[in-house]
Chain A
Amino acid sequence: MKFHLPKRVLTLGLVGLWLGSALSFGQWAQGRTLTIMTFSDEFKTNGVIADFEKLTGAHVDLRVVPNEQYMNKLIPLLRTHRDVPDIFVGEAGYIKEVVNLGQSVDLGAAPYYASTVNQYPYAAEMGRDRQGVLRALTWQTTPGGLFFRRSIALKVFGTDDPIQVGKHFSTWSKFIESGKILARHGYYLLPEAGDLGSVFFANKKEPYFDANHNWHLDPIIKKYFEVAKALRAGNMDMKLSDWSAPWMDQMNTPPGKAKVFAYLWPTWGLFFVLSTQKESLGDWGICHTPLNWYWGGTWLNIYKNSPNKDLAWAFISMMTQNEPYMEKLALRTGDFSSDKVVVKTIMDHFNNGDPAGVLGGHRNHNKIFAETADKIDASGVSSEDRVINQVVGSVLDDYLNNKFPNVDAAMKEITTRVQQMYPDMNY
């Protein structure tokens, strides 16, 4: 026997079901607006905003402020408590400055109870303030590696296997010795000795200024200068200014013509820089550096007086707590997730290398990144890193150009310059 529902009843029922489900599960924030102030439009381009709007029905007002002006725009807003966005962000260089302002909610407490159990330790550490309170969360991590030319490795070291090549660069003394071998064959280990900065900066064990405003110049900075000087003295770097046209050109030189053996890149360097070097695609391998390091990253904060804290948390939760969504996002964007479980789940997707073919299917780059991310220690990161790391870089340039008699004089110069920039601290 056939059972016929009247057409109108059926239609009404379906509409009711759709409305009901939308109202109760998805479109619960219809008509509301979430304001996010950030320094790039990546939330728009990577589809996160569209996903969130579809999920909640809310409208996202994305305010993009250039990175170099971000703090100068954010602080006055937080001072006056007017027009403050519901979510503000912090880049790796100044996230500690942001979380220490005390203007973000405690994400580890009620009603959020954000979990960082599956997060890489350094990703969670970066979002904590001086007291250890969790103020910010991230959806990505940016560990780095040594991207080397396979064609040169084969010629000089007799192998292009990343594990074997990596053995030549596992300690700083081996790193320098391998640089010498490369130099003897007419190659440069790096485009510029100063490029090692990110590796060393990420390995400070203590912040530049402690809670009592006392100045500390971590011994790792001296090591940075010594390694860079050894490379320069041994003609192991090509002395190309970073990001200059010749520096970029060397990266895009076809195999056989390349002079520079390796570049140091974090995760995003693979997707946004190396993948656009069409002449050298497939000639790259990746291995570890002597120290584990990262470069970059974005952390999300909820403004403590925001009237839309629930909506802001829905956004941050989707980005950093919702593992199925994080999987989808990581596969869509190529971002290296901050969540270990997500990274493990999608690991095999990268067995043939990156989608652009930079590594030529040579190795699963995410395995290298995962090993590195797990070992990064962010305890030495401080609010002043952004500025002082630049000072260190500038003094290093002068040191490499023989302006100081020895490395200790260069260290003294760093302290002098920092003192001029932060005169109210204790030295």
Chain B
Amino acid sequence: MKRLPRVGYLMLLPFFLAFTVFIIYPVINTFTTSFTNDSLTSLNPAHFVGIANYQNELASSLFWKTFFNTWAIWLPNIILQMALALFVAAVMTNYQIRLKGKGLFRAVIFFPNIVTVTTIAILVYALFDWQSGAINQLLFGSNTSKYINWFSHGYWAQLVISGVQTWMWFGFTAIMLISGIQSMPKDYFEAAVLDGASDSKIFFGIVLPIIRPVMVYIMITSLIGGMNMFDLPWVLFSNTGGPDQGAMTMSVYMYSRAFTWDQNLGAGSAVAWIVFAIIGVFTLAYLRVTYGKENAEETMK
């Protein structure tokens, strides 16, 4: 009996090894690098520079521009995404509607989530091409004078990326919400119906409060993903950030700082930790607003 735990530890070893190599070590390495002048353009060893990288980045106007860009892309996306997902979840779980082909519908709305970002970027280029793209033709028909050059202004580029993110993720969010609603005891619905509650009363009075933990989970994971948004802006605009640098997110900035521009690994690492702190602050703030101070701290633990 006494030998069993040792075998158990042995079985866990591959995971801990991988976790140490791929998570713990990079995190510690990034932290220590952020206090150095380590650079990819130099073959000289790195030197300790204290908190200079943090000071420089926090004083950089471009960093704060990327901060606001990231929010400008994420915020409309999460609002629209949540609204769409809630609507879909409400419709698909409504026992009165009895929608046919739910499985197929679920697969269809989930589909954008499994398509690679590069494929989506090609689609975006084709759909949003201002002269021949389907979006302008759909919006303005043959009135070509009204066609919008979607990649000519920062706000249009942000809107496009935000919209694409919504399209990619609302299906996933809807499925999470559907699972949350379906896990609720049916008695609640039946009691509410017997008491004569309307659909909207049931939704806002019963469903929403009960699925709040699911929504909180979605919001926090989306916040983390949103603040780390890299792939689509990068594939569309590379390290330039596109028109007006409007599509340069914090992660694009971080990567460009470390690997593209002056290849300053120290500065890039500092940005990574600043982004981590920003995510931490906003997550805590959101939890406090949602659950109150004590519960928020409990949830964070």
Q: Which residues of B contact A424 (CB under 8 A)?
A: 262, 264
Q: Which residues of A contact B43 (CB under 8 A)?
A: 75, 78-79, 101-103
Q: Which residues of B contact A101 (CB under 8 A)?
A: 43
A244 CB-CB contact with B under 8 Å = yes
Contact between chains at B40 and A75 (CB < 8 Å): yes
Q: What's the nearest-Cβ distance from chain A to residue B139, in Å?
A: 18
Contact of A421 among B130, B132, B149, B256 (CB under 8 A): B256
Closest to B56 in A: A423
Q: A78-B43, A239-B131 are in contact. Are A390 and B126 (CB under 8 A)?
A: no
Chain A, interface residues (CB within 8 Å), range? 20 to 34
Contact of B125 among A75, A244, A417 (CB under 8 A): A244
Q: Please give 7 more A-B residue pairs, beta carbons under 8 A apart, in addition to A246-B129, A387-B261, A401-B243.
A: A72-B40, A238-B131, A391-B240, A398-B243, A401-B153, A421-B261, A423-B56
A379 to B151, CA, bound (A): 35
Which B30-55 residues have C-beta < 8 A from chain A? 40-41, 43
A245 CB-CB contact with B under 8 Å = yes
Contact between chains at A397 and B243 (CB < 8 Å): yes
Could you give, for residues 18-31 of chain B, a 1 whenever the CB lies within 8 Å of some chain A CB and a 0 otherwise? 00000000000000
Q: Which residues of B contact A393 (CB under 8 A)?
A: 240
Contact of A422 among B125, B131, B151, B262 (CB under 8 A): B262
Contact of B131 among A102, A246, A394, A423 (CB under 8 A): A246
Closest to B241 in A: A394
B182 CB-CB contact with A under 8 Å = no
B233 CB-CB contact with A under 8 Å = no
B60 CB-CB contact with A under 8 Å = yes
Could you give, for residues 67-99 of chain A, a 1 whenever the CB lies within 8 Å of some chain B CB and a 0 otherwise? 000011001101100000000000000000100
Q: What's the nearest-Cβ distance from chain A to residue B21, in Å?
A: 17
Q: A390-B238, A393-B240 are in contact. Are A423 and B125 (CB under 8 A)?
A: no
Q: A72-B40, A245-B125 are in contact. Are A403 and B244 (CB under 8 A)?
A: yes
Q: Which residues of A contact B238 (CB under 8 A)?
A: 390
Which A227-242 residues have C-beta < 8 A from chain B? 238-241
A212 CB-CB contact with B under 8 Å = no
A420 CB-CB contact with B under 8 Å = yes
Contact of A97 among B41, B131, B132, B152 (CB under 8 A): B41
Q: Which residues of B contact A394 (CB under 8 A)?
A: 240-243, 245
Which B114-143 residues have C-beta < 8 A from chain A? 125-126, 129-132
B96 CB-CB contact with A under 8 Å = no
Q: What's the nearest-Cβ distance from chain A to residue B118, in Å?
A: 13
A78 to B44, CA, bound (A): 11
Closest to B267 in A: A423
Closest to A240 in B: B131
B239 CB-CB contact with A under 8 Å = yes
Q: Which residues of B contact A75 (CB under 8 A)?
A: 40-41, 43, 263
Can you list 13 residue pairs at the A/B interface with Cβ under 8 Å? A72-B263, A76-B40, A78-B43, A79-B43, A241-B129, A244-B125, A245-B125, A246-B131, A394-B240, A420-B60, A420-B61, A420-B62, A422-B261
Q: What's the nearest-Cβ distance from chain B to residue A378, in Å?
A: 21
Q: Which residues of B contact A390 (CB under 8 A)?
A: 238-240
Could you give, for residues 56-85 of chain B, a 1 whenever the CB lies within 8 Å of some chain A CB and a 0 otherwise? 100011100000000000000000000000
Q: Which residues of A contact B152 (CB under 8 A)?
A: 397, 401
Closest to A245 in B: B126
Q: What's the nearest-Cβ distance from chain B to residue A60, in Å?
A: 27
Closest to A100 in B: B41
Q: What's the nearest-Cβ distance from chain B to residue A236, in Å?
A: 16
Contact between chains at B131 and A72 (CB < 8 Å): no
Of B43, B238, B242, B264, most A-chain CB atoms within 10 Å: B43
B260 CB-CB contact with A under 8 Å = yes
Contact of A423 among B149, B243, B260, B262 (CB under 8 A): B262
Q: What's the nearest-Cβ distance from chain B to residue A311, in Å?
A: 24
Closest to B131 in A: A246
Contact between chains at B239 and A387 (CB < 8 Å): yes
A420 to B240, CA, bound (A): 12
